[in-house]
Each structure stands twice: as C-alpha cells, then as structure tokens.
C-alpha cells in the first residue's frame, strides 16, 4: 500500500474504542500506508485487539503511561519487533470526574497530581521512552482542546491541557536538532469515551454543530485522523511547536 506514511512505523497510544480520536488517527495512518502499532490500558485490551484486525492485525501493547517500567518494556518490545519508530500519537488524558465539576479552587492536591501526571507528563514520559527508536527523526502529535477559553465542567482538564501545550513547545524546541517535530491538534467537541465524563457535554456538541463555520460532526473522527496523519508525515517536515485546530473553525467564533 502506498501513501504519505508508507515505509514508516507509527505508535498510536491511547486507543479506547471505535469512537476514539486515537482510532481515527490509526485508520488514517494505515490508509496512507503506515505500519500502525497500538497501545492501550489492560482493561481495554480485548476491545482494542478487535479493532486492530481492521488495520492489518496491528500489534497491541499494554501500557500504563504512569509506569516507567511499562513504558520501557513497551519500547523494548517495539524495538525488537520493528526496529524503529517515525511517528507517535499521544492520545491520553484523565482527570477524576469530581475535578471537572464544581469550583476550580476546590481541586484537591491528589486530583491535581493525577490529572497533570496522566494528561501532561505522560507525553514527556512516552517520548523519553521511545526516543531511542526515533533514529531518523520523525513526528510526535498530541491532543488538546481550546485552552484560550474556560468551559463549564472542564476545570482541571483545561489546566492540564494548558500544561500539555506548553510542553509541546518545549519538546519541539529541545528535539529539533534530532529532526523530531512535536505538534498538538485541537479538535472540536468529539463524542469520545473521555468526553462522556464532562457534565452537559451535549451542549458543547450542539455548539459545534450550530456555530462552526464549516459545521462539525462530533461522531466523525476522520478530520482529526487525517490532520494528524499529515503532521506525522514528511509533508509537515518544517512544522513544529504548533496548535493545529481541527474544529470546523469553531475556535474563531466569538462568545
């Protein structure tokens, strides 16, 4: 199969189900000829292995991104099986539901720690573990959500995404001499498993449908998948450190 990702290996980390943005990315990369490797939590193994049969029986690695041992073991297995990586899609975020509701000032230290560790530091940890495999440079993509505004019932996750965006800039700066690009994608409201933890998420979805200049389908992961595939291909060889919006133009619309 030929395409803009042909001849390269890509790790898509954080697949949960068929509605995941990670799955949309995996399908687009596979369509463009890339060899796709998937990672997920142990609880999701059976579901993700079922999806993997649709993209060439992609290997599925179990990995807790908050475990340095898991990350090292996954990197070792990828190295033994595939030798190298060209692209990484980091599609991982978590905050306790109670930290998304109520008042920001009521956030506990423990909730803050787990949200920032899982949603932001996991990018650093994943890149550090896989860096020896990116022998010829490559691309890292992560997922954010419009941190220029405050959204009801998003609270701590908005803070975590702001940290993630800053992290992208510093990683892009530090890894440029290795020819590794680091970028983030800001998608519109998407009907993912993670989004279901946001109270009144239906209002955000409706806002996307009604106000995005190009319209927005919260059930279609294809646009984000295709944008990520571009960023992880050589077509984006001089693009790094950016937030690339894929939301039908929703982010330009005033309140």
Catalytic residue among 145, 151, 230, 245: 145
The DSSP code sequence of 187-248 is: E-----TGGGGSTTHHHHHHHHHHH-TT---TT--HHHHHHHHHHTSGGGTT--S-EEEEST
Strand partners, 245: 186
Q: Rounded to 5 degrees, what angle do the CA atoms 141, 145, 148 make?
A: 120
Closest to 170 (Cα-Cα) out of 145, 142, 135, 148? 142
Compute the distance between CA of residue 131 and CA of residue 95 in angstroms, rounded to an integer.
Answer: 27
Query: Is 248 within 8 Å of 224 (Cβ atoms)?
Result: no
The two tokens of residue 162 are 């702001």
Residue 230: active-site member: no
Q: Is 154 a catalytic residue?
A: yes
Question: Residue 66 in contact with residue 113, Cβ under 8 Å?
Answer: no
Q: Which of 244, 234, 218, 239 minimizes the C-alpha distance to 19?
A: 218
| Residue in 10, 61, 86, 154 annotated catalytic | 154
Catalytic residues, by residue number, are: 145, 154
């Amino acid at each position: 199969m030929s395409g803009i990702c042909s001849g390269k290996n890509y790790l898509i980390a954080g697949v949960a189900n068929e509605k995941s943005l990670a799955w949309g990315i995996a399908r687009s990369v596979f369509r463009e000829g890339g060899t796709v490797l998937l990672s997920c939590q142990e609880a999701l193994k059976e579901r993700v292995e079922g999806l993997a049969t649709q993209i060439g029986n992609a290997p599925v690695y179990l990995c807790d991104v908050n475990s340095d041992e898991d990350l090292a073991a996954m990197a070792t297995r990828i190295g033994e099986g595939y030798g190298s990586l060209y692209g990484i899609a980091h599609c991982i975020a978590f905050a306790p539901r109670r930290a998304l509701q109520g008042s920001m000032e009521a956030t506990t230290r423990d909730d803050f720690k787990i949200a920032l560790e899982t949603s932001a530091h996991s990018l650093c940890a994943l890149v550090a573990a896989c860096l020896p495999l990116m022998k010829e440079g490559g691309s890292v993509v992560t997922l954010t959500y419009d941190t220029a505004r405050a959204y009801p019932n998003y609270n701590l996750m908005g803070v975590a995404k702001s940290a993630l965006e800053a992290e992208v800039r510093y990683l892009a700066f530090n890894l440029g001499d290795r020819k590794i690009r680091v970028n983030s994608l800001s998608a519109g409201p998407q009907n993912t498993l993670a989004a279901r933890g946001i109270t009144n998420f239906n209002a955000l979805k409706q806002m996307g449908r009604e106000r995005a200049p190009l319209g927005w389908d919260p059930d279609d992961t294809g646009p984000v998948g295709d944008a990520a595939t571009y960023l992880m291909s050589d077509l984006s060889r001089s693009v790094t450190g950016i937030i690339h919006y894929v939301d039908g133009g929703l982010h330009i619309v005033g309140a």
